[in-house]
Structure 1
Amino acid sequence: MPAEAPLPPISRRHTFNVVFGGLLVFAWIALWLWERSPYGRYLNHAELGGFGHDPQSVSVLTQAALYIAGWLLMTTAMMLPTTLPLLDAFRRMTARREDRHHLLALVIASYLGVWLAFGIAAHLFDLGLHEAFEHVRWLQENPWIFGAGPLLLAGAFQFSKLKYRCLDRCRAPVGFVIQHWRGGNAAVQSLAIGAHHGLFCIGCCWALMLLMFAVGTGSVGWMLALGTVMAIEKNVSWGRRLSTPLGVALLVWAAAIALNHAWTWQ
């Protein structure tokens, strides 16, 4: 039988958009269902203080796996949409290769792998804070710090040079792919593209992602709100202009928490 004719560029792009959109829809639906399941607590990092003491007698290893799986699902739903321009540029760059689907999967896997490493580090840091809270009386008397602190950090970071340097790299996906697609081992290069893009993505979004530990982690509504903000910043033509008002809003929010605490203690 004659070989199947390759899909025209428009059909390939349509197929890519359908598959990509289907993956995101699946991730959001899975989050919504998980949030309402008996294991919804594993999406909420506020519950990390009880790590290892699950009332349902779940092993520590299983609890750790559930937290990691929850984080990976959250980053898939929240951060993968921000990579659409990069993935589309890479898809076009490798459109004539027979292994193009495999290479694209490697880019996605390495990108999510970097975010998974960040999530593990953030979880460990959060566990340390919970441990400190149990032993430091001042923190127990001032729990508002855990709300105002991440907001203050995220708001201040919106005005940093590092934020804009990383954001600019994320907003130029075609140049990024061309710079990193240097030939040689295609699989290794694909992994490198996903990992490097993930590092720049963390560089511009890490402070906002840490808000997940302060403003309703485990809430699909908050995940959707933060994910939308980060997608606009990276993908929309006017997205860069969102950074300053967002930073101001976060700083005002942090100040409001601090002032409310001061007023309460008067």
Structure 2
Amino acid sequence: MLARSRLFAPLFVALTGSAWIALWIWDAGPYARFLHHASWTELPLVGPICREVPGASLTIAALLHSVAWLLMIAAMMLPTAFPLFDTFRRMTVAHSNRRTLMALLIVGYATMWALFGVLAHGFDAALHLVADQSASLLANGWLIGAAIVALAGLYQFSSLKHRCLDKCRSPLMFITEHWRGRSARRESFALGISHGAFCIGCCWALMLLMFAVGTGSVGWMLALGAIMSAEKNFSWGRSIGKPLGIALLVWSAWIVLQHARIA
């Protein structure tokens, strides 16, 4: 039992590391555009299918974006939730189906982030559609980027973010509030859903920065993942929220000034 307990953290690190390696290989390879906004009809092998089969372009785009998004979540967000998973593992160590309960917890957590990914990609696609139909917006697309950066900066000061952070920083209290073990499987999945919702409440604005600076950039994912992990899991993480918010607002203002000077 003790040996299995000691294996949990290394296996979790291996899972996260594998996701990062997969993203790095994908981003460095010939199909890096799958991680970004791509015209599917221009891609080798996929293009002919998209042109010939009705609806194939949307189906393939949705499938590949989903795979890329889940890899990003495994790489960026699972480490931020490690304290909850490890606490839950220790609390359920006596259960004969503890592996199933842990799997349901992780699946519930990933489900919430997958739903957020659908909404975020839908919002992003709608913005691109509106921009493509508006010559002025297309010429001034930087305004959207500046607005997203400013939104992320302002959200750093919001009470909602800090309430969600408080939930994420207290894994033992969170589990005791949401898990009784009476219907262990259902409650484990619901616990993952609940924690995923609060995690999104902490991090959604920072995650939207990926759409402003380039979805699929491994460098940006590393930076954002490190910031979110620090905010949630380190004692000094409380001290970086406001400076980060100020930095993002300054960045947004700099974007506006740069383009105003060019105009």
TM over 0.5: yes
Deviates more, 1:108-117 or 1:136-145: 136-145
SS at match of 1:184: coil
The runs of 4+ residues in structure 1 deviating greater than 4 Å are none
Alpha-carbon displacement from aligned partner over 1:57-77 (angstroms, at most 9, x marks no partner): 143212210011000100110
Aligned twin of 2:115: 117
Measure, in 1, the Cα distance between the counterparts of 2:65 and 2:214.
16
Aligned twin of 1:18: 10
Aligned twin of 2:53: none
Measure, in 1, the Cα distance between the counterparts of 2:139 and 2:179.
53
Aligned twin of 1:3: none
* 1:69-218 equivalence runs, <5 A: 69-218=67-216
Measure, in 1, the Cα distance between the counterparts of 2:29 and 2:139.
33
Measure, in 2, the Cα distance between the counterparts of 1:187 and 1:39.
39
Measure, in 2, the Cα distance between the counterparts of 1:243 and 1:74.
23
Identify which of 18, 21, 24 aligns with 1:29.
Answer: 21
Taking only the aligned residue pairs, the percentage that are identical comes to: 51
Alpha-carbon displacement from aligned partner over 1:75-110 (angstroms, at most 9, x marks no partner): 110000000110011001101111111111111111
Amino acid at match of 1:131: L
Measure, in 2, the Cα distance between the counterparts of 1:232 and 1:204.
12
Query: How far has the Cα of 1:54 moved from its partner?
Result: 4.0
Deviates more, 1:152-161 or 1:60-69: 60-69
Identify which of 229, 232, 237 aligns with 1:231.
Answer: 229
Measure, in 2, the Cα distance between the counterparts of 1:117 and 1:216.
20
Amino acid at match of 1:202: I
Query: How far has the Cα of 1:250 moved from its partner?
Result: 0.4
Q: How many residues align?
A: 253
Supply the RMSD in Å over aligned alpha carbons. Answer: 1.2
List alignment gaps of at least 5 residues for structure 1: 1-6
Amino acid at match of 1:94: T
List alignment gaps of at least 5 residues for structure 2: 51-55
Query: How far has the Cα of 1:137 moved from its partner?
Result: 2.4
Measure, in 2, the Cα distance between the counterparts of 1:191 and 1:38.
37
Amino acid at match of 1:194: G
Measure, in 1, the Cα distance between the counterparts of 2:215 and 2:75.
14
Measure, in 2, the Cα distance between the counterparts of 1:248 and 1:13.
41
Measure, in 1, the Cα distance between the counterparts of 2:42 and 2:110.
28
Identify which of 23, 29, 34 aligns with 1:42.
Answer: 34
Alpha-carbon displacement from aligned partner over 1:162-199 (angstroms, at most 9, x marks no partner): 01000110000000011111232211000011110000
Measure, in 1, the Cα distance between the counterparts of 2:70 and 2:147.
25
